[in-house]
């Protein structure tokens, strides 16, 4: 495979999956969360169903593909991480953006993913018990929802910085 084809495939994967990841993060944080908050108990049910849909996996896989392809592109551009390459503002802007996206992924993976899995588990327990959730389950669900909501704000801010970095790095000297 020629170098040009290799970079073309990486860019295609990086930009297609990066767009999906960033777009879904912004949609979730700025539109879905306020709608869920306004929906009361119905919102809780919707969130459980969303957790069971393909969305959490799709977002995680897209983030991984974006990061791996981005990492391989940096490797290529910097000729195997040559330190000299990192001395320009061009590369600094790019790597700061990349770093922010990576931190966003870590937050999603370590906070949102286990919280969503726990919400799912409680949902299954409630279905097995029959009837509404117990007050303890209700309290735990509220705590988990709040955790996801506040972590998502940080994720959106970091992904926002990454998108800005990716948009401008080429024009920064």
Query: Which residues here bind ligand HEM, judged by CB under 6 A?
Result: 7, 11, 14-15, 18-19, 21-22, 66-67, 70-71, 73-74, 77, 94, 98, 101-102, 159, 162-163, 166, 170
Q: What is the DSSP letter of 80?
A: T
Residues, the chain: 173
Q: What is the DSSP letter of 87?
A: G
CB of 28 to ligand HEM, least distance (A): 14
Q: Is the Cβ of residue 98 or residue 119 nearer to ligand HEM in the bound state?
A: 98
CA angle 46–30–28, rounded 5-degree value: 45
3-state DSSP call for residue 42?
helix
CB of 116 to ligand HEM, least distance (A): 20
CB of 138 to ligand HEM, least distance (A): 35
Q: Is the Cβ of residue 74 or residue 126 nearer to ligand HEM in the bound state?
A: 74
CB distance 163 to 100 below 8 Å: no
Q: Is the Cβ of residue 46 or residue 86 nearer to ligand HEM in the bound state?
A: 86
Residues with Cβ within 8 Å of 74's Cβ and at least 6 positions away in sequence, in order, are: 81, 94, 95, 98
CB of 119 to ligand HEM, least distance (A): 25
Q: Is the Cβ of residue 19 or residue 110 nearer to ligand HEM in the bound state?
A: 19
CB distance 157 to 22 below 8 Å: no
Q: Is the Cβ of residue 11 or residue 87 nearer to ligand HEM in the bound state?
A: 11
CB of 76 to ligand HEM, least distance (A): 7
CB distance 116 to 51 below 8 Å: yes
């Amino acid at each position: 495979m020629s170098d040009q084809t290799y970079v073309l495939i990486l860019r295609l994967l990086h930009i297609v999956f990066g767009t999906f990841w960033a777009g879904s993060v912004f949609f979730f944080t700025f539109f879905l969360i306020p709608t869920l908050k306004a929906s009361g108990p119905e919102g809780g049910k919707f969130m459980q169903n969303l957790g069971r849909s393909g969305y959490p996996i799709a977002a995680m896989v897209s983030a991984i593909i974006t990061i791996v392809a981005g990492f391989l592109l940096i490797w290529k551009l910097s000729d195997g991480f040559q330190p000299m390459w990192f001395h320009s503002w061009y590369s600094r802007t790019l790597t700061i953006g990349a770093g922010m996206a990576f931190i966003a992924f870590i937050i999603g993976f370590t906070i949102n993913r286990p919280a969503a899995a726990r919400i799912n588990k409680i949902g299954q327990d409630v279905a097995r018990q029959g009837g509404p959730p117990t007050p303890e389950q209700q309290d735990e669900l509220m705590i988990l929802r709040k955790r996801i909501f506040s972590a998502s704000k940080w994720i959106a801010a970091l992904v926002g910085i990454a998108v800005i970095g990716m948009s401008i790095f080429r024009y920064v000297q």
